[in-house]
């Protein structure tokens, strides 16, 4: 194929040691392999079945405890014990409960993931690593092959370029932009592609916001997402990188599947209606619908800025009677920073419950889920029937400001009136 290369093509070219283009099938060796919780037990059981006693490169493997950091059943106790044994037996790094937090976030936070890296993972939301220009790809059932051999066959994906312009209006945040993007375009545009974000609008979006942008396109079948690493990104990375940095930018004449524009200034608070995250409407279209359950957290919206925004809404207010609000910081560092800023106190005084850092309610409703007939609004990644417990529950997705406002109102609410005369700082 003639023309320049996208960020994805350049990353895979470096990994493969030759120029590659969309449509080729390659076998890129992952620089990091992440496996989470109970997936670990299943993957290593498969390795045992095939007689594998040594990994391709144990130094590149990271086992994470985040979907269920606080084990609440005998089965969970046993799984966590098994993962500890696997880590010791195979000599791999393991973040046990209370260490790190959500595996899609803390490796970026701690500099374990850097721009230009290529990562295989056994969880679709590894796409968060794109917040700093790394390429994370989920392989799901093929993860035992990756652990044993270092790679699997991967078609080089096409890239969908998203050029951001403008800046978010008052009371509108990154989650609103992310939901608007996937709700405004046909899924076929995203399917099997990597979403590459660029454009002048990025200047107003910090790393927390970029995590959110990279998290959502996978719900429409995208292979991954990444943000063009700019000066803001490099300043963030240089303060924490624990491995080489391969800053990778697209060529001016890169060949894309398509280019679309995301005008941040034209977005209002968004709410995704059941049963999919792309079934999106402006909050005004569904405002007033009664709720009984609210959740703030997940790899899409559990970062420090998300908690700051939620606290700005909740400060001096109370969660409505009949509503339970659960707040889950994404990582141990986010939790510590939130505590230092007084945000945890705000949540608790408002009547919210704060849980251990990790996936929280979003992990299949293993904690704090919903019963049949309940209506929920949360910042989780998905809202298909049964995601948070009962299939007969009604699940909505929104940004942290909208969720916090709804928890106070007792019904889905526009957050902008709650934020008048309120100021908050944004993380770097």
**Segments in 58-173 forming alpha helices (H):** 74-90, 106-109, 143-149
Beta bridge partners of 162: 197, 260
Res 428: pLDDT: 37
Average pLDDT score over residue span 142-153? 97
Length, in residues, of the chain? 428
Res 38: pLDDT: 87
Going along the chain from its start, the domains and CATH numbers come out as 11-264 (3.30.499.10), 270-419 (3.30.499.10)
426 confidence band (pLDDT: 50, 70, 90):
very low
Q: pLDDT over 70 for what percent of the chain?
A: 98
Q: pLDDT over 90 for what percent of the chain?
A: 96
pLDDT tens digits, one per residue of 225-278? 999 999 999 999 999 999 999 999 999 999 999 999 999 999 999 999 999 999
301 and 388 Cβ atoms separated by less than 8 Å: no
423 confidence band (pLDDT: 50, 70, 90):
low
Tokens 């943000």 belong to which residue?
A: 227
Rounded to an integer, what distance in angstroms lies between the CA atom of residue 127 and that of residue 121? Answer: 9
Structure tokens that stand for 85 in this block:
């044994």
Average pLDDT score over residue span 86-92? 98
pLDDT tens digits, one per residue of 265-298? 999 999 999 999 999 999 999 999 999 999 999 9
Q: What is the mean pLDDT of the chain?
A: 96
Res 422: pLDDT: 67
Res 47: pLDDT: 98
Average pLDDT score over residue span 11-24? 98
pLDDT tens digits, one per residue of 99-127? 999 999 999 999 999 999 999 999 999 99
């Amino acid at each position: 194929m003639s023309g320049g290369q996208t960020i994805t093509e350049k990353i895979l070219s470096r990994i493969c040691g030759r120029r590659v283009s969309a449509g080729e099938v390659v076998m890129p060796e992952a620089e990091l392999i992440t496996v989470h919780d109970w997936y670990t037990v299943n993957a290593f059981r498969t390795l045992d079945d095939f007689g594998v006693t040594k990994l391709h490169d144990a130094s590149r493997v990271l086992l994470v405890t985040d979907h269920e950091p606080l084990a609440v059943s005998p089965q969970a106790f046993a799984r966590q014990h098994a993962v500890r044994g696997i880590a010791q037996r195979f000599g791999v790094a393991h973040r046990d409960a209370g260490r790190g937090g959500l595996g899609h976030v803390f490796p970026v936070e701690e500099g374990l993931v850097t721009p230009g890296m290529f990562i295989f993972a056994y969880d679709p939301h590894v796409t968060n690593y794109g917040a700093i220009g790394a390429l994370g790809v989920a392989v799901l059932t093929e993860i035992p092959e990756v652990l044993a051999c270092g790679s699997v066959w991967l078609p080089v994906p096409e890239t969908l370029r998203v050029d951001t312009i403008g800046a978010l209006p008052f009371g509108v945040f990154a989650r609103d932009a992310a939901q608007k993007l996937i709700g405004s375009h046909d899924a076929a545009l995203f399917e099997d592609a990597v979403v590459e974000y660029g454009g002048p609008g990025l200047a107003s979006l910090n790393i927390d916001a970029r995590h959110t942008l990279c998290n959502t396109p996978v719900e429409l079948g995208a292979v991954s997402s990444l943000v063009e690493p700019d000066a803001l990104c490099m300043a963030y990375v240089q303060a924490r990188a624990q491995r080489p940095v391969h800053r990778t930018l697209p060529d001016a004449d890169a060949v894309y599947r398509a280019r679309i524009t995301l005008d941040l200034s034209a977005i209002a608070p968004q709410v995704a209606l059941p049963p999919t995250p792309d079934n999106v409407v402006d909050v005004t279209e569904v405002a007033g619908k009664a709720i009984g359950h609210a959740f703030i957290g997940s790899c899409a919206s559990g970062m420090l800025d998300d908690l700051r925004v939620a606290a700005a809404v909740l400060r001096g207010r109370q969660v409505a009677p009949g509503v339970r609000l659960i707040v889950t910081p994404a990582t141990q560092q986010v939790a510590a920073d939130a505590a230092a800023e007084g945000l945890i106190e705000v949540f608790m005084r408002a009547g919210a419950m704060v849980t251990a850092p990790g996936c929280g309610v979003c992990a299949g409703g293993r904690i704090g889920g919903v019963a049949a007939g309940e209506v929920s609004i949360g910042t989780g990644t998905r809202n298909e029937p049964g995601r948070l417990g009962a299939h007969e529950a009604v699940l909505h997705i929104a940004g942290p400001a909208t969720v916090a406002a709804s928890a106070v109102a007792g019904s889905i609410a526009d957050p902008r009136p709650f934020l008048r005369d309120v100021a908050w700082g944004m993380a770097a």
